[in-house]
Structures are given as C-alpha cells and as structure tokens.
A and B are shown apart, each in its own frame.
Chain A
Amino acid sequence: MSAVVEIKDLHVTFATDGDPVTAVDGVSLQVQPGEVLAIVGESGSGKTVTAKTILRLLPETATVDGAVILAGNDVVTLGAAQLRRVRGRDVAMVFQEPSAALNPVYPVGWQIAEGLRAHGTVSKKDARRQAIEVLDRVGIPDAQTRVDQYPHQFSGGQKQRIVIAMALVLGPKVIVADEPTTALDVTVQAEILDLLRRVRDEFGSSIVLITHNMGVVADLADRVAVMYRGKLVEQAGALELFARPQHPYTRALLAAVPRLQAHTSEPDGGPAAATAATGSEVLPVVTAEELEVVYPGRFGRSGFRAVNRVSLQIAPGEVLGLVGESGSGKTTIGRAIAGLTPATGGTLRVLGHEMVGFRERAFRPLRARLGFVFQDPATSFNPLLTIGDCVAEPLLVHGRFPDVNAARDRVHELLDAVHLPTQYAGRYPHELSGGQRQRASLARALALDPELLIADEPTSALDVSVQAKVLEVFAELQERLGFATLFISHDLAVVAMVADRVGVLYRGELVEEGTSDQVLGAPAHPYTQRLLASVPVPDPVAQKERRLALAELKG
C-alpha cells in the first residue's frame, strides 16, 4: 500500500513587509489510502499552509521548497495546466466557511457540475444526474428539486454538505478539509463529522483534516500529526496519541483542552454562595422578566424576534453562563444588558435602571459600574492607541484621572492583575498576541471596578492553551473582586469551568436554567441533552461511546 500523498522536507516561507516568515519548516508527512490524517496545532503553527501546499493553494508571496508527491506528481514543480488537472481529480478541498465557499448567484447543481466541466466534456443532462447523485449521497434530502436551488436556500450545515459534494464529485483520492466544522454549531458539527466518516468509508477518499479542536480529532482521525511553530513535533495513531502523548507540547495541548466533566466548583461556591446565604434582600444586578428583543424588519416585513420572553436574574458576585448555538439570542441578551441593542419588550433592570426604552444620557453614569469583554480581540482595541491608552480610556471618560499620565499607576496595576508585563502599556494592540489582547481587554473592562461584567464569547477566537490562561485570569479576578458576570459562550466546556449557574438558550427562548452541575450533569430539556451529547470529547474511546449515544438520542 503506497501513500497517496507524500510530503518530503517541506519548507514554506512568506515574504512580508518585515522579515520573511517561515511558516512550514521541514515537515515530512504521508497520507495512506482511506485514512483520516488530522493535522492539529494552534493558529500560526503552519497546519493550514502545509495542507494547502498539497493543492498548491498559496499566495504569491510564498516560496516553497521540498516535494509534495501526489499520485506520482510533484505538486511543487507542476506547471499550471498540469496543476489544474490534478486539482479536483486527485485532490479536492473543503473550506472552513461554507457560505463563503459557494457562489451565491449560481444554483448549487451548477456549481457541482463546474468541477465536472473543468475536467472534460460532460453533457448537461449527465452533469445534472451526477450532481443529484452526489447531493443525495451527502445527505441532502430531496436532491432532485434542491439541485436547482441557490446557496442561500440551504442551512449552514447543508451548505457544508454541498461543499463536500463539490469536493467528492470527481472522486478525488485526497480531500483536504480546512477546519470544516469550525464555523458550525456543535449539533451540526456532529452531523458533518458523521458525513466525513462516511465519505472515507463509502468513497474511499483519504482525508487530511486540519483542525484545532481536539474533540473533532478524537472523533474522526485515524492518525494525528501535531504541528508547532512550523515543525512537526509528533505523529502517531489517534488512540495512541490521546493515551500516551510523547512530546511535551502535545501533552500541554491536551491538558489545556477544557473538559465537560471536569467541573470542580468548590461546594462552598465563593461569593455567589455567600450572597445566596445572606438571603434574598440583596438586589440582583440584572433582572429580566419576559424580556423581548425584536429587530425591526424592512419595508413592512415583520421584525425578527431574537429574544423571546426570557426571564433571568444575576445576583451580585454570581457568574451566569449563557450557552446556545448561533442565532439563539445569547449575544443579543448581553448587548441589551449593556445598552448596545435596545430591549423592546418585557422588563430588563440593570443595576436598578430600566433598559426597555432607556435613554443613553440617563444610563451613562451607570456605565461605570459595567464592563464588557468582546469576542474578537483583534478589533476590540483602537488600532491607533497604545494598550495603556486603551485601558486608561474608561478612567479618563469617567473623570477618575485628568489625563493618561496621571492614570499610569492604575493602568500598571490593572495590567499586573491580568498578568501582563507593565511595559506592554506602551505597545500597540497589534503587537500583542490574541490572548494577551484579550487579557488587556479584561483589564479595560475591570478598570472601574464594575459590579457587572458581560463577557461575550471572550475565548472563542483563541487557541485552547491561550484560552486556558485567559479563563484562569478571569476566574482569579472574579474570585478576588467578586463582580457578577454574564458569561456568554457556545462552548459548554468553557461555561462549565467558570459558571455558577447556566442558562441554555434555543431560538431566543431560555429552555433550561439551573446550577451548572444540574444543567450540565443532568439536563432535563431534550435540546440541552442533544447539545451536550454533540460535544466531542478529546478521547477517541469515550468519544466513540458518546457518538453511539447521540445516535440513539436522535433515534
């Protein structure tokens, strides 16, 4: 059995405005027929560049050295015409963002047939027949009629199925899947992973799976290659890698993955329990009753109801985790509490101020008692101000200090609290890594000692190891300063780590709420059960059992 793809001593260097950057440094890999090889690593580890080299999908600024043997051809040295023949027929690609990978102005059937047309002449009828066949095989119901529909008529998961169908239609030997499930919700992710498994079994294609999610790796991969800073640090069978990681980096990576079961909240529960003990006379920081948020519709269409009759409370010092899939309204609730999105119905009292129909001018003084951490650390800082200026901004706005220089000590104190060196105050946001920026963002949110912190997916843009550090800093500060927190996340394991209580949102409604042990340990609502069962765990053996359990749950 010879390898389908053989990468020999691959080096890829990018020309940049600064010094050239070596993204891949001496990587050698083999992909066997019918095998799922997962390349894992953090952002910037070179995993995507390595995999894209198999198709030679690299920008002009890249310089490639080494050999990538695909079905007897060295892709690195192929001419343009030969390369076109290889792409699609020998190797195909599944992209991360299915809505961006499909052309919105053509029917999906046409787009699938595009691959067939690129490799020889096919009649219209024949192309259509093949498109329907492949759509059927990737699990698009009613493929006969849906083949003529446009991408926007499909859901995110279905779009990813269509992208996979496009990759499959020419029967390639290898499919490169670049983070194929990252843009999808966990319940959809589980379905796509099932599909990819079937692709391997039924079509016999090898799959090169690029991912940072160890759960996905455990679910699907036969063999795992771990990359770190452009180098291949470890390569092993999936079972063996998870059971006995050899390289210290792999071990650290696995240790950093938050695990659903690993929720160890101390029974005494810290400040939340303390307030609960003192009785109910303590006013909650946030009270929502029958809260509704409706986004206005356009031109006579009815508005979109993002949040529907949600009632919740956050007591002082308590961490409420809010989980749900995209579109469930979790972020909207956070934004409504912060006064970024107007609440339209019910009541929402934040720090004693009614937010339904609120006026910015009246609410402004209360903003000093509220902090917000945004999802994307790359854009939540003004790129032209230094970190010190950004952290000092709330202090200046609320008149605590006359200017930046006067606030310097406080800024240093804050940076120190989030474990950033104080000299980072003089740096610009782009000079910090994502995790460092997110910690700086936390420092900014806590600058005024707020009573309430809203954290909107604060770690979803980060790598697991960095996420662990940010969560650790958050937990430490929360314990020390005792602020109440609304922690919004789609990642159940992360919520399990930090939250005292958890609310589960589904299509704008709060379907379940309770202590995190209760909700995550013994979920009552069927949606919560399905959500929990869909999360892949970073352990191939346990994940196999969970997979079967999920299949049973679906019936």
Chain B
Amino acid sequence: MSEPLLTESEPPGTIDETVVVHGTSAEPRWKKLPLIWQLRRSVGLQRGMLVAGLALCVFFILLAVFAPLIAPYSYNQLSGPDGNFPRQAPPSAEFLWGTTVGGYDVFSRVVWGARTALLVVVVAIVGSLFLGVLLGLVSGYLGGWLDRVLVTIADAIYAFPSLLLAIVLSIVISGGRASFLGGILAAGLSITVVFVPQYFRVVRAETVRLKAEPFVESARVIGTSTPRILGRHVLRNATRSLPLILTLNASEAILTLAGLGFLGFGINPTAGAEWGYDLNRAISDVASGIWWTGVFPGAAIVLLVLGVTLVGESLNDLSDPRLRIRRRVKGVLITSPPEPVTEGAPT
C-alpha cells in the first residue's frame, strides 16, 4: 500500500443524519453555540423566520429588563401627583394606551407584564428541563420496572387537560391568589408539572436510541461506569432536540399563564402586572366600545408567542438536514473538485 494515490482517497465521512455536529474543530467555540450556529447557517425563508422570531424575543426581553425605565407608571399605580387616574380613559398624551376600568395605565401594565411572563417562562422551563432530562436519561438507560412506572405516570399526566392541572396546582400552591413571587412560582411550577412529561419522553426516546449506538456500546466494552456513560456519552447527544421543545414550551407557558390569569387564578393586580388578568377585566369593556384595554395586552401575548414559536419552528427546520435549505449553486459550475479533504467536512 505504498501507492500514494489511494491512501487518502476517501472522502471525509458523511455525517449520519441522526447526529447533529456543530461545526468543526477549526472553528472558534462561540460560533458553535446554539442559535448562533443556526443563524450563520440559515438562508432564505428559514433565516427570515429565525431573525424575526429572535427580534421579537429580544424586544420583549429588553422590555422586561428595562420596564421601570420604559413604563411611565408602576403596574399597580392608581394615582399620580394630580390625584386619581381616570377610569377607562381613551389613549392620550398622558396615558399612551388609555386606562382600564380599575384605573391602571394600560401601557405600563403591558410593559410590566412582559417581566411577569418571562419570569414564569424561566421558572417553568428550568424546573421541567432539569427534572425531565434527569428522569428521561435514567429511565431510558436503565429500563426495567422504573422505566415502566415513569412512562405510565407521564402518560397519566398527559391525559389531564393541562390547564385544569395548572389550576389545581396553583390552588394547592398559593390558594388561588398570591403575591408576585408566590404567583410566579405557582404559575411556573404548575406549568412545570405539565411539561416534565414532554422533556421526559423526548430525552427517554433519544436515550433508548443512543443506548444501542456503537459509541455507547464501545464505552460499555471499555468498562465505563453508568453515570459516566450517561453524563459524557448519552446526555450530550440526547439534547439535540431540546432547544426546539424549549422554545415551543415557552410559548405554551405564556399561554398557560395568560389562561390562568384570565380565569382568575393568576397574580393579584396589586402584586404584579399580568396580561391574562387584564384581558379578563377587559371583557365588559368590549361591548361598550372600549377597545384599548383588550387589544394591547392581547397583542402582547400574540407577539411574544409568535416570536418564540418562530424561533422554535425555524430551529426545527434547521436541525433536520432534509428540511434545511441550502444556498444553491449559482449558474457557474466549479470545474475542479474541492481539495481532497481532510480539513472541515461538509455537514
């Protein structure tokens, strides 16, 4: 085999479609981070969706972080230096989007509401993510009766209407109404319970698939301990679809929170601003032609959910090699093949 023609004649490995590999060893680490990697790779409609979704999300995050600076009044402020705020006042220079039946400034409530919504999303996702991933890994890898019991419980939770479950939990946790933090925790945790089975199922399915992969078997042959196999070999490869569920769940969390608030199980208006509660209070206004109390919180919910869903959907398309759009070769054909590569392989 001294024939030099043959020794390196193979093309670089074609990548198994089931494994997402972000970049190559030659690229700096930050370029391989999720979102940034996808943003750099995406083209056309998928890029448009991703950019639009990210822009909406960033907008709401900024709104939440800088709420005290942006909002002219506090979320529970009913009076200014000139006395009490008018009730159901139409939009004006003083009250940009008018006031509610309770006398709150709509604009300030909507801005502060972003903070509540995002906090609930964070609490709900962090909780369900850790619990769901851990249970999914252990259950999928070990199998046996533990696996069967956990799967049954997850299925049972699926059978409940998620909003009903959230209501029950919010009553259990905070007696229905609560302070800002209590309300957020109640809403977040009740959403957590609904979402844990989703993460559990996804991670479990991935783990079951990975368990039979040769690289996990090779770790077993080497004599690797189970925790090390799970942590080093399975976990990192099982999380590829998590950013997707994460974003889709985030939008569902926002909707569940709004639903809770709308039904009156949310956060007390004096404890925090919450779009669902505001919508509930706006019901009676609709008939009397007062549009501003309902439209703005409603639009805020729609836009935030839309932004998060756009990010999720485009991540979904980008993570699937069969759906991912590539830049087409324009007209001119490249006459000589690219160097017989051992450097960066095409994904």
- Which residues on A are within 8 Å of B, measured CB to CB? 11, 13-22, 25-26, 42-44, 61, 63, 65, 228-230, 248-249, 252-253, 255-256, 338-340, 364-365, 367-368, 370-372, 374-386, 393-394, 397-398, 426-437, 441, 444, 463, 465-466, 468-469, 472
Q: Which chain B residue has the least Cβ–Cβ distance from A454?
A: B221
Interface positions, chain B 195-219, Cβ under 8 Å from A, are 213-215, 217-219
Task: Compute how far the CA of A393 lies from the CA of B215 in the bound complex, rounded to whole angstroms.
Answer: 11
Please name all residues of chain B whose beta carbon is closer than 8 Å to the beta carbon of A367 when the two chains form the complex.
221-223
B70 at the interface (CB under 8 A from A): no
Residue B36 lies at the interface, judged by CB distance under 8 Å to chain A: no
Please tell me if B329 contacts chain A, counting CB pairs below 8 Å: yes
- A368–B10 Cα distance when bound, in Å, is 32
CB of B227, distance to nearest CB on chain A (Å): 12
Q: Give the residues in chain A near B218, CB-CB below 8 Å.
A: 372, 374, 380-381, 441, 444
**A61 adjacent to B326 (CB under 8 Å):** yes
**23 A-B residue contacts at CB 8 Å?**
A13-B333, A15-B328, A17-B326, A17-B347, A18-B344, A25-B337, A42-B9, A63-B328, A65-B333, A230-B337, A256-B1, A339-B220, A379-B16, A381-B215, A383-B16, A383-B215, A384-B236, A397-B223, A397-B225, A427-B24, A427-B25, A465-B6, A466-B9
Complex contact B12–A433 (CB within 8 A):
yes
Determine the interface band of chain B, counting residues with CB < 8 A from chain A.
35 or more
Give every chain B residue within 8 A of A20 (Cβ-Cβ).
329, 334
Beyond known contacts A383-B16, A385-B232: 14 more, CB 8 A cutoff? A16-B346, A21-B346, A229-B340, A338-B221, A378-B13, A382-B232, A383-B19, A383-B237, A397-B228, A428-B21, A431-B345, A432-B342, A433-B10, A436-B342
By CB atoms of chain A within 10 A, which of B14, B217, B333 has the most?
A: B333
Q: Which residue of the partner chain, among B15, B215, B333, contacts A11 with CB atoms under 8 Å?
A: B333
> Roughly how many angstroms separate A20 CA and B328 CA in the complex, as a whole number?
8
Contact (Cβ within 8 A) B5 A249: yes
> For residue B288, which residues in chain A have a CB less than 8 angstroms away from its CB?
none
- With an 8 A cutoff between CB atoms, is B79 at the interface? no
- Residue of B6, B213, B327 with highest tally of chain A CB at under 10 A: B6
Return chain A residues, CB-CB under 8 Å to B337: 21-22, 25, 229-230
Q: Which residue of B lies closest to A249 (CB)?
A: B5
Q: Is the interface of A mostly helix, strand, loop or mixed?
A: mixed
When distances are taken between beta carbons in the complex, the residues of chain A under 8 Å from B94 are: none
**Which residues of chain A come closer than 8 Å to B12, judged between CB atoms?**
430-433
Closest chain B residue, CB of each to CB of A230: B337
Known: A17-B326, A374-B217, A429-B13. A469 touches B223 (CB 8 A): no
Decide yes or no: A18 and B215 within 8 Å by CB, A365-B223, A430-B21 being known contacts.
no
**In the complex, what distance in Å separates the CA atom of A63 from the CA atom of B1?**
36
Beyond A17-B326, A376-B214, A382-B233, whether A431 also contacts B347 by CB under 8 A is no
**Top 6 nearest A-B pairs by Cβ distance?**
A44-B11, A367-B223, A433-B10, A465-B6, A380-B214, A16-B346
Those of B308-347 within 8 Å (CB) of chain A: 324, 326-329, 333-338, 340, 342-347
Residue of B nearest to A63 (CB): B329
Q: Is B41 an interface residue (CB 8 A)?
A: yes
Contact A433 B11 (CB under 8 A): yes
Can you name the residue of chain B whose Cβ is closest to the Cβ of A14? B329
CB of B82 closer than 8 Å to a CB of A: no
CA of A15 to CA of B8, assembled, Å? 23
Is B220 within 8 A of A340, CB to CB? Answer: yes
Residue B92, interface by CB 8 Å: no
Measured between alpha carbons, how far is A338 from B324 in the docked complex, in Å?
40
> What 0/1 pattern do residues 1 to 36 of B give for CB contact below 8 A with A?
101011111111111100101001100000000000
**Which residue in A365, A374, A393, A437 is a CB contact (below 8 Å) of B13?**
A437
Which one, B25, B329, B334, contacts A428 given CB within 8 A? Answer: B25
User: Are A374 and B214 in contact, CB atoms less than 8 angstroms apart?
Assistant: yes
Complex Cα gap A161–B223 (Å): 45
Interface residues of B (CB under 8 A from A): 1, 3, 5-16, 19, 21, 24-25, 41, 213-215, 217-225, 228, 232-233, 236-237, 324, 326-329, 333-338, 340, 342-347
User: Judging by beta carbons under 8 Å apart, are A431 and B25 in contact?
Assistant: yes
Contact across chains for B343 and A252 when beta carbons are under 8 A apart: no
Nearest to B13 among chain A residues (CB) is A430
- Give the distance to chain A from B263, nearest Cβ to Cβ, in Å: 44
Question: Taking CB as reference atom, which chain A residue is nearest B334?
Answer: A22
Q: Establish whether residues B217 and A229, one from each chain, have CB atoms under 8 Å apart when the complex forms.
A: no
Is the beta-carbon distance between B342 and A431 smaller than 8 angstroms?
Answer: yes
A437 to B336, CA, bound (A): 27
State which of A229, A339, A463, A469 has its C-beta within 8 Å of the C-beta of B1: A469
Residue in B10, B236, B338, B340 whose CB lies within 8 Å of A435: B10
Quote the shortest CB–CB distance from A247 to chain B (angstroms): 10
Specify which chain A residues have a CB less than 8 angstroms from the CB of B10 in the assembled complex. 42-44, 433-436, 463, 466
Residues of A within 8 A of B220 (CB): 339-340
- Contact (Cβ within 8 A) A16 B347: yes
Shortest Cβ gap from A62 to chain B (Å) = 9
A228: B residues at CB distance < 8 A: 9
Residue of A with least CB distance to B40: A17
Chain B residues lying within 8 Å of A42, measured Cβ to Cβ, are: 9-10
The answer to whether A25 and B9 have CB atoms under 8 Å apart is no
Closest partner residue, chain B, to A441 (CB atom): B218
> For A377, what are the chain B residues with a Cβ–Cβ distance below 8 Å?
13
Closest A-chain residue to B7, C-beta based?
Answer: A469
CA A383 – CA B1 in complex, angstroms?
29
Asked whether, in the complex, the Cβ of A256 is within 8 Å of the Cβ of B329, the reply is no
Given contacts A15-B328, A374-B214, A386-B25, contact A433 B334 (CB under 8 A): no
Q: Distance in Å from the Cβ of A231 to the closest Cβ of chain B?
A: 8
Q: Which residues of A sit under 8 angstroms from B11, Cβ to Cβ?
A: 43-44, 433
Most buried by A among B24, B236, B329: B329
Within 8 Å CB of A16, what residues of B?
A: 326, 346-347
Q: With contacts A15-B327, A16-B347, A393-B224 known, is A465 near B217, CB below 8 A?
A: no
- Residues of chain A contacted by B3 (CB below 8 angstroms): 248, 252, 255, 465
Is B5 in contact with A252, judged by CB distance below 8 angstroms?
Answer: yes
CB-CB nearest in chain A for B216? A382
